[in-house]
Structure 1
Amino acid sequence: MSHSASLRLSLLLMRISIFTVMLMWALDKFINPSHSAKVFEKFYFMAGLESSIMAIIASIELVILAGFILGIYKRLCYAVVLILQTVSTLSSYQQYLSPFDGSHLLFFAAWPMLAGCLMLYLLREDDRLLSLNK
C-alpha cells in the first residue's frame, strides 16, 4: 500500500472512530437527558438544563457530526469537533489530578482522542477516502 493510500485509510479510520464516540455522546442526550444534564452541571457548570435543551444541543451535534463523517464542510465541522473535544478534555481536569480514584483512569482516553481530532483538522485536505468533499 502506498504512503498516500495508507494515510487516507488511517484518516478515514480515525474519522469513523471519533464519529462513533461523539455519536454516542449525542445520542445520550436524547436517550438519557438527565445523565447529560448532570455531566453539563459537573463539568461545564451549567445547571438546570432540561431535556428539551439537551435535545436541541444533541440535534446541533448530530448535524455537525453528519458533516464530519461525510467529510463535508471540513474546515467548520472538523474544527467544531476539535473544539468540543478540547472543551470536554480540559473540563475534566479534576479527574486527571486523582487518576486512581473511581473510574478516573477512563478520562485519560480523552487525550489520544483530542490528538486524533487535531490530526484530522490539520490533515483535513488529505482526508478524502469516503469523503463527499474531495
Structure 2
Amino acid sequence: MNDRIETAARRALFIQRLALSVFLLVWAVDKILRPEHAAGVFIHFYGITISHAALTWVGVAEVVLILAFAIGLFKFWTYLALFIIHFISTASSWKIYLALYGEGGSLLFWAAIPVLAAFWVQFALRELDTLTLDDWLADRRAGRT
C-alpha cells in the first residue's frame, strides 16, 4: 500500500473510531443517568429485567470499554467486544426491521445496520488503525519515539 493511501486509511479509521465512540457513549451514559429508561429498553428488546443499580454499573463498564476503544487500547478485544455488543443490540430488533413500513416498524432502527458494518470494518482493519494508544506504546517499547 502506498504512503498516501495508508495515511488516508489511518485518518479515516481514527475519525470513524471517534464517531463510533460518541455514538455508543450516548447509550452508555443513558444507562447511568436514566436507568429507568434503559430498564424499559432491556425489557422490551431483550426480555430481561435488570435493576437500576445493575444498569448503572453496566453503563459505567460500557463507558470504560468505549473510552478504551476511543483511544485504541487493547484493539483486538475492545474492537471485537463493541462489534459483538452492537451486533446483539441490532439483532434484538429484528422484528422492527421486518415490519419496516408496517405496524411497529421504524426507519430509524435501520441506522444500526451501517453502524454495525462500521464496527466490523474497524475490527477488520485494526492493523491499519495506527493512531492509537496501542501503537504509540508499541513504538515506545521498540524505541521508535
TM-score w.r.t. the length of structure 1 is: 0.93
How many residue pairs end up in the alignment? 132
1:116 maps onto 2:84 in alignment: no
User: What is the CA–CA distance in structure 2 between the aligned matches of 1:112 and 1:13, rounded to whole Å?
Assistant: 16
CA distance in structure 1 between the aligned counterparts of 2:78 and 2:39, rounded to whole angstroms:
24
Structure 1: unaligned runs, 5 residues or longer? none
Partner of 1:24: 26
> 2: CA distance between counterparts of 1:33 and 1:104?
23
Match of 2:55 in 1: 54
Alignment of 1:80-95 (within 5 A): 80-95=81-96
- Give the distance between the partners of 1:64 and 1:91, measured in 2 at CA: 21
1:35 aligns with 2:37: yes
Question: Equivalences for 1:60-75 in 2 at 5 Å?
Answer: 60-75=61-76
Counterpart-to-counterpart distance in 2, 1:57 and 1:126 = 30
Output the aligned Cα RMSD.
1.4
In the alignment, what sits opposite 1:128?
130
Name the residue aligned to 1:77: 78
Q: Which runs of structure 1 show a deviation greater than 3 angstroms over 4 or more consecutive aligned residues?
A: none
* Percent of paired sites with the same residue: 33
Deviation per CA, 1:47-93: give whole Å up to 9, x if none.
2x221011110111111111100101011100110001100110000
Q: Which runs of 5+ in 2 are unaligned?
A: 136-145
Change (3 A) 1:102 1:94: closer
Q: Distance in 2 between matches of 1:103 and 1:128?
A: 40
